[in-house]
Structure 1
């Protein structure tokens, strides 16, 4: 696959999770996960904020601006979200603790797509 196609798939993942799952709340377990991890009585506000940030991430991926920064931001975000879910809410995850495997695969795809298509990997361009 080409870099553009992979970037579109990655952007679609962020968009689906942000818009469909969180902003539109078609996957209510996301709100339960947020409530459990943040120990809040108002998870709907955090769900919407996280959804907006994920939609923004999809736009950023498509824009290809600051390629290295978006690489590190995506990897860090996916890793932190999945580590928190792994420890605090594995019972609410679609595949339980096995979710972390899919997160690792997504991180590997994002990283390898970036490395294959960029000669400079340690500058924020």
Structure 2
């Protein structure tokens, strides 16, 4: 029986988070609060198409994570994306967040995993 490596497991979990939120939360509007947050920050008239666009970007980011290529650059982009999104959400849509500290804590865990993966994948 083949054992899954921790690195592969972490890669799949990170990718699953991005793909889930991109596809289910934003494109399929499975968590309407995401669209409402986009609308409050970028304008109600553009909320749906921009949520879909953001969702596509999140799915692409998840696929990049799965590819295992250029993990340092991938971790950098994930960091930029999450810091930007979290900052905008806290500043302009805090009333729509379930828990700003909880969101930040979970995203720090995700980024910690992304940077761990980048470090493990780097050539020695």
Q: Tell me the secondary structure at the aligned position of residue 42 of structure 1.
A: helix
Partner residue of 2:113? 109
Aligned counterpart in structure 2 of residue 92 of structure 1, from 79, 93, 96: 96
Number of aligned pairs? 120
- TM-score of the pair, normalised by structure 1: 0.87
- Deviations for 1:36-90, whole angstroms, at most 9, x for unmatched residues? 1113412100011111111111111111122221111111111111111111112
Q: Which moved more, 1:105-114 or 1:52-61?
A: 105-114
2:45 alignment partner, SS class: coil
Q: Retained in 2: the 8 A contact 1:90–1:97? A: no
List alignment gaps of at least 5 residues for structure 2: none
More helix as a share of residues? 2
Post-superposition Cα deviations, 1:5-29, rounded to whole Å, max 9, x if no partner, equal: 1000000000100000000001001
Checking the alignment, whether the CA contact within 8 Å between 1:86 and 1:100 is kept in structure 2 is no
TM-score by length of 2: 0.88
Residue in 2 that maps onto 1:123: none
Gaps of 5+ in 1: 121-125
111-120 vs 85-94, which deviates more?
Answer: 111-120
- The 1:76–1:84 alpha-carbon spacing in structure 2 relative to 1, beyond 3 Å, is same
CA contact (8 A) 1:34 1:46 kept: yes
Note the C-alpha offset of 1:117.
3.4
- SS of alignment partner, residue 70 of structure 1: helix
Counterpart pick for 2:78 among 65, 74, 78: 74
